[in-house]
Amino acid sequence: MNPNSIQCKNLKTIVSKFSKTSIIVIGDVMIDEYMWGDVRRISPEAPVPVVEVESVTRRLGGAANVVQNLQKLGVTPKLISICGNDENAKSLRSILAEIKCVSDGLLSSDLRPTIIKTRIMARHQQIVRADRERIVDLNEEECEKIWAAFEKFFPSADGVIISDYGKGVVSQPLIGRIIEKCISNQKFVAIDPKERHFELYKGVTVITPNLKEAHTMIGAQYRQCTDDDIRDLGWKIMDNLSLPYLLITLSERGMALFDRENREMTHLPTEAQKVFDVTGAGDTVISVFSAAFTCGATPVEAAFLANHAAGLTVAELGTASVDPESLLKACGC
**CATH at residue 326:** 3.40.1190.20
Average confidence score pLDDT of the chain: 90
CA pair distance 247, 172, nearest whole angstrom: 24
Q: Per the domain annotation, does 41 fall within a domain? A: no
In a domain, residue 40? The reply is: no
Q: With respect to residue 129, please indicate whether it lies within any of the assigned structural domains.
A: no
Cα separations in angstroms, 309 against 27, 165, 227, 296, 315: 22, 21, 23, 18, 10
Work out the angle at residue 227's Cα, subtended by the Cα atoms of residues 223 and 230, and round it to the nearest 5 degrees: 55
Residue 191 lies in a domain: yes
Does any domain span residue 197?
Answer: yes
Catalytic residues: 283
Classify residue 56: in a domain, yes or no: no
Dihedral angle over CA of 318, 322, 328, 331, nearest 10: 20
So what's the pLDDT on residue 277? 43
Task: From residue 181, give the alpha-carbon distance in Å to each of 66, 185, 203.
Answer: 22, 6, 12
Expressed as residue numbers, the domain containing 226 is: 3-31+61-114+134-330
Q: How many domains does the chain have?
A: 1
| Arithmetic mean of pLDDT, 312-317 | 67
For the entire predicted model, the pTM comes to 0.91
Q: What is the pLDDT of residue 254?
A: 86
What confidence tens digit (pLDDT) does each residue in 77-106 have?
999 999 999 999 999 999 999 999 888 999
pLDDT of residue 269: 87
Give pLDDT tens digits for 206-235: 999 998 898 888 888 887 788 888 999 999
Q: What is the DSSP string of 132-164?
A: E-------HHHHHHHHHHHHHHGGG-SEEEEE-
